[in-house]
Amino acid sequence: MTIIQRTIPKAIKVAGVAGFAGLGIYCTKQFSTAFAESNEPKPVFSGLGFTTLRLQSTKTVNHNTKRLVFEYPNESARSGLTLTSALLAITHPEGSWLPTIRPYTPISDLDEPGRIELMVKQYPDGKASGYLHSLKPGDSLRFATSLKGYQWKQNEFSHAYLLAGGAGITPIYQLIKGILKNPQDRTKLTLVFGVNSEEDLLLKEELDRYATEFPERFNYIYTVSRPKEENSSYRTGYIDEELLRSTFRESTQNTKVFICGPPAMEDSLRYLTCESLVYRYASDLKSQTTVPGTAKMSGQTKSLYPEPNVLTSSLKVGAVTGLRSNILKLHYEDKATPKQRAYVSALSGGVAGGAVTRLMGGRLVPGLVVFSLLGYVGQSSYNAIDTWQMENANTTSKPFLQRMADSKWIPLKSLSDDDYRGILNEKVLSIEAEIALIDDKIGELEKLKTSGLESGNSDPAAK
């Protein structure tokens, strides 16, 4: 903070703050005016903050999956979410003293007024999913802010390949629904949906309906790894390279692959790209031989949501910063010494880092220790740099050559004026001493000359 304060002139800062304030007021006014004009209530998930919704109804889909419908406080309110978004649900699993936060993707129309629907698969010993499955109509659930995934732009790609595994179909389904219901969007979609058994083909009815309604734009392939039916009508096996090679038949220009599924599936598929798969397919057709070489990661493959560690890191940074600035403001009234700042950063890092790590399913103590250390070391380094900068701000900066000469690693020495004067004085003294010696010599010679002359005059024969 200090660095910014020092480098940005006060006038610019004031103008910036005023600008932001103005923009904020303008946006708020525009926003409220728009809603006032249209008589629409404020979107339910607008901005940051918590939202508590009442569970209206539940529906069992299969042995481990349920659909949960939540109602908005105002029946004409809409979600305000965009493609693709998920909601962070705050759950309170039994026996856990800290809440557990997990993202869940709405499967209902994001513009639908009055309600929102989630589809939740329960994992064995799953904390959040177990809690959500235990909820009864009339119970309420709190949501933290919404989580934005890939920001879809209509007609950005001519064809999108969507690879979904298990409950990973929910974000992919939200995308399919949003694209197909937009009459201006002409993107073609191919879904490859991999599940364990036939009963795990979630949202199958809806997907079948879309395939019938939009035969030119939407098609799908279901693949079942452990089919229960003897003569299953579905492809058997995982989503693998062979399946993708037979699916990706189009030119790779302007196509994109989206992946959403269990971490292991995402990891194994991420390294296969649309480009490499089409290339391999084309080469195989020509030569009928296997194309050597491993597929490389490229920008054409995209996970729909940020990596969980990116999400966790952002939450941690946000929590640490918030906690730290509040302690500094409330307890120290923004007058903490550098040492106190280091302690506050360590404390905030530990508490916030530990809590977020725990909330996102990690272990509390390692999170606490690592983040308090990071907080302390980070703040101390900042303090050291800040002190160094302050000291340097008060001294005039030296030219580059002089700084080089000042370095103990360079065998040159830079001279100050006093050093230089001292050396000159030494020289003058030594010259004066030499002059004095020469004077002595001249004196002696003159003496010799006079004494020689005198003796020559009295006894010229001695010469």
Ligand X SMILES: Cc1cc2nc3c(=O)[nH]c(=O)nc-3n(C[C@H](O)[C@H](O)[C@H](O)COP(=O)(O)OP(=O)(O)OC[C@H]3O[C@@H](n4cnc5c(N)ncnc54)[C@H](O)[C@@H]3O)c2cc1C
Residues at the annotated binding site for FAD? Answer: 102-104, 121, 127, 129, 170
In this structure, the dihedral spanned by the alpha carbons of residues 58, 304, 241 and 252, taken in order and rounded to 10 degrees, is 130
Candidate residues 55, 90, 115, 126; the one interacting with ligand X per rule CB under 6 A: 126
Measured from the CB of residue 230, what is the shortest distance to ligand X in angstroms? 27
Candidate residues 64, 100, 255, 303; the one interacting with ligand X per rule CB under 6 A: 100
3-state helix, strand, coil in the chain (%, to 5): 50, 15, 35
Q: Does 262 bind ligand X (CB under 6 A)?
A: yes
Q: Residue type at 230?
A: E
Q: How many residues does the chain have?
A: 463
Beta bridge partners of 104: 87
Q: Write out the binding residues for ligand X, residues 74-93 only, by CB under 6 A.
A: 86
CA distances from 342 to 320, 325, 339, 378, 382 (A): 13, 12, 5, 8, 9
Judged by CB under 6 A, the number of residues near ligand X is: 23
Candidate residues 68, 83, 110, 119; the one interacting with ligand X per rule CB under 6 A: 119
Interacting stretch for ligand X, rule CB under 6 A, among 72-80, 164-172, 378-386, 420-428? 164-172
Measured from the CB of residue 134, what is the shortest distance to ligand X in angstroms? 11
Q: Does 170 bind ligand X (CB under 6 A)?
A: yes
Interacting stretch for ligand X, rule CB under 6 A, among 32-40, 128-136, 203-211, 275-283? 128-136
Candidate residues 45, 72, 104, 222; the one interacting with ligand X per rule CB under 6 A: 104
Coil, strand, or helix at residue 160? strand
Whether the Cβ atoms of residue 27 and residue 410 lie closer than 8 Å to each other: no
Q: Does 105 bind ligand X (CB under 6 A)?
A: yes
Tokens representing residue 388 in the block: 């160094």
Candidate residues 66, 78, 115, 127; the one interacting with ligand X per rule CB under 6 A: 127
Q: Residue type at 140?
A: S
Strands (E), 64-198: 65-71, 85-91, 100-104, 115-121, 140-148, 159-165, 188-195
Query: Read out DSSP for 30-76?
Result: HHHHHHHHHTPPPPTT-SSS-EEEEEEEEEE-SSSEEEEEEE-SSTT
By rule CB under 6 A, what string of x and - marks binding of each residue 319-358 to ligand X?
A: ----------------------------------------
Binding residues: 102-104, 121, 127, 129, 170
What are the helix and strand counts (H, E) for the chain?
13, 12
Candidate residues 66, 115, 121, 358; the one interacting with ligand X per rule CB under 6 A: 121
Candidate residues 193, 305, 371, 376; the one interacting with ligand X per rule CB under 6 A: 305
Tokens representing residue 205 in the block: 């009815």
Measured from the CB of residue 175, what is the shortest distance to ligand X in angstroms? 12
CA-to-CA distance for 133 and 122, rounded, in angstroms?
7
List residues near ligand X by CB under 6 A.
86, 100, 102-105, 118-121, 123, 125-130, 167, 170-171, 262, 305, 361
